Every structure is written in C-alpha cells, then in structure tokens.
C-alpha cells in the first residue's frame, strides 16, 4: 500500500505483477481519518497498515496504462498552451509600454506578424519581443505536432465521436474529458460524476440550519476546467444549454450560470457515455465538420532524426567532450586590460 504521489502509478505497475493487491491511498481522505500531531514515516506506515486491516483506506482509482499516458500527453499540451499565452502577453505588454496599438484584431495572424516585424521599439523591448516571437514559433510548432499525435489517438475512439455531437465539445476537449473521467461505469449516477469533478455546491448544516456555498472544487481540476471551457463555447449555439444558461444568467449572473451550465453539460456527457447514444439535439453538419478536421489532423508525432542523432553522438562522446562547449576559457585566453 502507498499514498498517491507523482510516481505512484509507476510503482503500482511494477508491484502489480506480483501476487497480492496493490492499494493506492487517497492522501487527502486518509489524512482526514488519521491526522496526528506526531508525524513520522514510521508512524504513518503503522497507521496506514492499521487502516488497511480495518478496510478504512480510501483508495484512489488507478487508470489503465494507455489512459494514464493519454492524460500525460493532454496535460503537456495544456501546459504548452499556457506558455504560448504567456509569451503573447509579454509581446502585448511591450507594445503597451511604448503606447502602440496593433492595427489588426489578431496580433499573431499574418497582418499582425508583419506589423511586429516592421515596428521599431527601444532596444530592451525589441530584444524581449524578438525573443518571445522566436519562442512562440517554436512552442506553436510543438503544439501542432503534439495535437497531431492526440488526434491520431482519437480517430478510432467511438466515445470521442459521441461527445463531439454535444455543443461546445471538439476533439481535444472530448479526449481530455474521457481521459479525466476514465471508465464511466465507475459512476452509477450523474451526481457522483459531478461530485468527482467538484462542480456541486458545498453544504454546511448544523441542526436545522442548512445553507449551500460555492462549488467544492474537489476532484479533478482539469476536468472542471475543460467543462467550463466547453460550456463557454456551447452556449453560443442554439441549444438546451444556451436556454439553460440564459435563464440562470438573468437571475444569478454569468459566473454562477456558466458553472451550472458546466455541471449540466457533465450530466449530458454521463447520459451519452452510459447509454452509448448520440446527443438528442445533435447537429449532423457540425459533427461532420469536426470529423473531417479530426481525420485531417491525425498525424503521428514526428520523432525527429536530429534529436536521435544528437542522443547517439552524446552517448559516444567522453564526459569532457560533452561539457567542452560550456567550459570557461583558460588563463591564456582571458583578455586583460
């Protein structure tokens, strides 16, 4: 038995081939049961053993290896997208510092890039902008290649097609939702799934006094985030989601309405995956467009030859040769003045 950590699933795969059961404990729930003032590794191990013997260990669901690897790829793509946003914000900030307004709405489209390449900024801001543009091009290339691999994994998954029939869900969001949920049979009711996503209101009750607060935000934060993003897109098209959102927005405002719409969207996802039926208000034309995009972008991630050659060369080099480009110059090469 072990607590869930960054390498817990790797250890789980190693131990699971041996006789017996491997248990991955949920550290948050375990702490609530066995919190102690005195905390040592030996004491923790003793408490975990006692809880396991009493069948009080709250276990963590362990995804299959292919599901876990897909989750890693999708999380990496999300982090690259955040880096891309950060670089764009730095370029916008450099323009703002110098009182410049872009002549086009998309600063990073064709017209916007021409504008950025032609303008002249003070030296410091010019260095920052050129550096960010170089990094931005490299990050975008990595995102495009990574998305090709992700689309390739999605093309043969029937559940991806089912989810893409729901307004606001495209290939990447469908695959992210599936990777975060795992086996839908783990959730016998939609309420359990919405609790897993942390999209249900928190409840405080004492005696006859009971009131609800903001959502719990427990469980998979990535699942909660992608559902809100899908809800933001889904309310733009004429559908039950849009009607639901507009009714709630008039009473509660945008923030509460969009979170409630995300919860409703997750309930629809549970029904579609559990029943293995298409969304009742599916738009065939929109689905076909999404499927064409999926087929077009499904390309294996290129394991570039230059990287393979570099690793081979490094393996053949001596240690001194590897670090030679980074060594300091000798005394005879240092300029004295």
- Domain annotation covers residue 327: no
pLDDT in tens, 95-132: 999 999 988 989 999 999 999 989 999 999 999 999 99
Does position 145 have pLDDT exceeding 50, yes or no?
A: yes
Residue 182's pLDDT is 92
Residue 304's pLDDT is 62
Number of neighbouring beta carbons within 10 Å of residue 198 = 16
d(CA 321, CA 42): 46
Residues 109 and 142 in one domain: yes
Residues 162 and 146 in one domain: no
pLDDT in tens, 231-251: 999 999 888 899 999 999 999
Does position 71 have pLDDT exceeding 70, yes or no?
A: yes
Dihedral angle computed from the Cα positions of residues 273, 275, 279 and 285, in that order, rounded to the nearest 10 degrees: 80
Query: Which residues have CB under 8 Å from 169's CB, separation 6+?
Result: 163, 177, 230, 233, 234
Dihedral angle computed from the Cα positions of residues 153, 157, 160 and 162, in that order, rounded to the nearest 10 degrees: 170
> What residues are paired with 25 via a beta bridge?
3, 59
Residues 82 and 204 in one domain: no
Residues 171 and 80 in one domain: no
- Domain annotation covers residue 332: no
Does position 170 have pLDDT exceeding 80, yes or no?
A: yes
Residues 165 and 283 in one domain: yes
Does position 319 have pLDDT exceeding 50, yes or no?
A: no
Does position 322 have pLDDT exceeding 50, yes or no?
A: no
Residue 266's pLDDT is 97
Residue 216's pLDDT is 85
Residue 330's pLDDT is 41
Structural domain count of the chain: 3
pLDDT in tens, 213-227: 788 888 889 999 999
Banded pLDDT at 334 (limits 50, 70, 90): very low
Task: Write out the residue range of the structural domain in which residue 31 sits.
Answer: 2-53
Query: How much of the chain, in percent, has pLDDT values that exceed 70?
Result: 82
Banded pLDDT at 328 (limits 50, 70, 90): very low
Nearest to 243 by CA among 264, 267, 228: 264
Helical spans, DSSP H, in the chain: 8-15, 27-34, 41-53, 65-97, 110-118, 123-154, 158-164, 171-181, 190-196, 221-234, 240-252, 254-275, 284-297, 305-316, 319-322
**Contact criterion met (CB below 8 Å) for 181 and 223:** yes
- What's the CA angle centered on 230, arms 219 and 246, to 5 degrees? 110
């Amino acid at each position: 038995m072990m607590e869930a950590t960054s390498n817990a699933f790797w250890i789980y795969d190693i131990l699971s081939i041996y006789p017996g059961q491997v248990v991955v404990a949920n550290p948050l729930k375990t702490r609530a049961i066995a919190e102690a003032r005195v905390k040592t590794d030996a004491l923790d191990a003793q408490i975990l053993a006692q809880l396991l013997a009493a069948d009080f260990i709250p276990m963590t669901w362990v995804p299959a290896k292919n599901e876990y690897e897909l989750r890693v790829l999708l999380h990496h793509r999300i982090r690259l997208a955040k880096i891309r946003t950060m670089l764009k914000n730095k370029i916008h900030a450099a323009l703002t510092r110098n009182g410049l307004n872009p002549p086009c709405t998309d600063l990073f489209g064709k017209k916007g890039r021409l504008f950025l390449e032609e303008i002249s900024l003070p030296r410091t801001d010019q260095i920052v902008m050129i550096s960010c543009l170089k990094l931005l091009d490299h990050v975008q290339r990595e995102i495009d290649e990574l998305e090709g691999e992700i689309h390739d994994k999605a093309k043969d998954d029937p559940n991806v097609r089912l989810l893409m029939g729901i307004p606001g869900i495209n290939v990447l969001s469908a695959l992210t939702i599936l990777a975060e949920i795992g086996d839908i049979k783990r959730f016998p009711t939609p309420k359990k799934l919405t609790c897993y996503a942390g999209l249900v209101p928190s409840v405080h009750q004492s005696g006859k006094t009971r009131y609800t607060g903001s959502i719990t935000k427990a469980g998979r934060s990535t699942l909660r985030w992608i559902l809100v993003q899908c809800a933001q897109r889904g309310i733009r098209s004429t559908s039950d989601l849009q009607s639901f959102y507009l009714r709630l927005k008039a009473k509660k405002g945008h923030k509460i309405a969009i979170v409630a719409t995300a919860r409703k969207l997750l309930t629809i996802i549970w029904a579609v995956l559990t029943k293995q039926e298409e969304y009742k208000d599916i738009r065939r034309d929109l689905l076909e467009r999404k499927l064409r995009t999926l087929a077009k972008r499904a390309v294996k991630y290129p394991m570039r030859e230059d990287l393979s050659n570099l690793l081979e060369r490094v393996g053949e080099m001596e240690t001194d040769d590897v670090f030679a480009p980074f060594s300091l110059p000798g005394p005879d090469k240092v300029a004295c003045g």
